[in-house]
Amino acid sequence: MQKLLLPPTLSWLAAVLLTSSPAYLVAQILPTNTHIKDQASTQMLAVNLSSNNLPDTVAGGRLGLQEAIRLAQQYHPDVAAAKREIAATEASLRQAGLLRNPELVAMMEDARTENRNTTWQLNQAIELGGKRRARLSVAESGLNIAKVEFTIMLNEIRATVTTRFNEVLIAQERQRLALTSLELTQRAYSAAKNQVTVGKVAPLEESKARVAQSSAQLELAKSESELMIARQRLQSVIGNSPHPSTEFVGRFDTLPVVPDSLDVEKQLMQSPQIIKAKIEVEKRVAMADVERSKQIPDITLSLGAKREQLTGRQQPMIGVSIPISLFDRNQGNVQESISRLDKAKDELQSTQIRVRNELMQAQQRLRFAVDEAQLSKADVLPNAQNAFDLALKGFEFGKFGFLDVLDAQRSLLAAKAQYLRSCGDAHLAAADIQRLLNDQAFEFYPATDSF
């Protein structure tokens, strides 16, 4: 069978266009990486990156977003600390409901046995003014605050894992782009060298191509370093997880869905931070009730018997003790509790304003980032790719200089970098919305596109 031979110029151009295709680039990204040596696992990862539906856990130590969130919420050290705080507040609630212990008093008059009088007395303090009920309200509010803080912490972990997970995915994509850039500059250098050899261009063009190749190598080293740092940052959030994760897989280009403003406003009052501020107001109300109840003195009932050794008589004893609130009526503590209650109400209003503003800003950032990413993908990237292809083809035919090729390549890589930044900003804004609201309030990603 006879082979079809192309001219050298067309052969090189066909090779460049072939290696610029997404399938080839994904397949070539990791084999060229010096940090990964297993060729078989590299090919499996390339298939996963090109799939629309990715499971949360993949065989071979790979990790998806939802599984990473679950591991972080399970093994993060702050989770164990928050659970212990809940257990402590439950113990405080149990303690607040206990009754006062009785008091046993024994008194002996005269040291001589024949003249001795012995008295046994049992005292029981009875709380008045709703003190026990007020203490229970304070303890219940403390328990509710601990539970809401636990929810807030889980939301923070979810948002942090989501952000850093997407940072890893985008860092992987930046590494892929750096590899693509290096491949293009290597082929461009070969083309410029051939052009110098045949005398079509000046040797200066070859020097420019060599500089571009060296810059691409430095960019690749930088992208590998950023990928390693992003992986370490994500692993630090996951905590002491027993999961042997070696690769993080997902789709960075699955953009979040922008929630409707009315839906966000409806979910605003369900924000854990606002709920915590409301419970804090309730707790301050209960603490004010505790201080007011202390203005009503408790009474102490006494029941006992007195025995006279000389006559042998036993006399029953019944008594009541009532403190007289003459000077200390707990007025200072009452005033303090009222002032702190007013402060809690002011903080509630401040929290509502702050959360609303942060939500509006996050929603606006999400909308802008999604629009920017969609525009880049639909218009900017195709035009930049087309301009680069035309410049490269024109250089081959001698119509353009190598600087035109470098400018077109620089514009293409800048457009791709901007697209990555837009995707990262979109995921960060969506994570901020989930952090401020209930983590199940909105489904930001389509069900068919899983991380």
pLDDT digits (tens, 9 = 90+) for 73-112: 888 888 888 999 999 999 999 999 998 899 999 988 877 7
| 429 token code pair | 């804004």
Average pLDDT, stretch 158-180?
87
The predicted model gives 355-375 an average pLDDT of 90
Give the range with max mean pLDDT: 242-251, 273-282, 410-419: 273-282
Mean per-residue pLDDT over the chain, rounded: 78
Residue closest to 81 by CA, chosen among 199, 267, 239, 284: 239
Q: What pLDDT score was predicted for residue 38?
A: 35
In contact, 337 and 283? CB cutoff 8 Å: no
pLDDT average, residue stretch 232-241: 79
Beta strands in 56-185 (DSSP E): 57-58, 62-63, 103-109, 117-126
Is the per-residue pLDDT at 210 higher than 80?
Answer: no
Q: Which amino acid is located at 286 in the chain?
A: A
C-beta separation of 441 from 265 below 8 A: no
Of residues 60 and 419, which shows the higher confidence score?
A: 419
pLDDT over 90, % of the chain: 25
Which residues are CB-neighbours of 207 under 8 A, at least 6 positions away? none
Residue with tokens 């006494």: 302
pLDDT band at 443 (very low <50, low <70, confident <90, very high): low
Cα dist from 207 to 13, 178, 184, 204, 272, whole Å: 21, 21, 16, 5, 60
The residues, any chain, with a CB within 8 Å of residue 177's CB and separated by 6 or more, are: 223, 413, 416, 417, 420
pLDDT of 263 strictly over 80? no
Q: Is the pLDDT of residue 409 over 50?
A: yes
- C-beta neighbour count of 154 within 10 angstroms: 19
| Confidence at residue 260, expressed as pLDDT on a 0 to 100 scale | 78
pLDDT, greater one: 263 or 120: 120
Q: Among 111-115, 284-288, 306-310, 336-340, which stretch is predicted with the lowest mean pLDDT? A: 111-115
Q: Which two tokens stand for residue 1?
A: 């069978």
Contact 392, 408 (CB under 8 A): yes
pLDDT for residue 412: 84
Q: Please state, in angstroms and rounded to a whole number, the distance separating the CA atoms of residues 336 and 280.
A: 16
Where is pLDDT greater, at 31 or 128?
128
pLDDT number for residue 124: 92
pLDDT of residue 90: 93
pTM of the entire predicted model: 0.69
Residues 6+ apart with CB under 8 A from 58: 48, 64, 247, 249
Q: Which residue did the predictor score with more confidence, 407 or 1?
A: 407
Asked if pLDDT for residue 215 goes beyond 90, the answer is: no
What confidence score (pLDDT) does residue 108 get?
86
Query: Over 80: is that where the pLDDT of 415 sits?
Result: yes
pLDDT for 12 beyond 50: no
Per-residue pLDDT band at 116 (split at 50, 70, 90) = confident
Contact 369, 425 (CB under 8 A): yes
The pLDDT-based confidence of 246 (bands split at 50, 70, 90) is low
pLDDT in tens, 17-72: 334 333 333 333 233 333 333 332 322 222 232 233 333 444 446 778 888 888 88
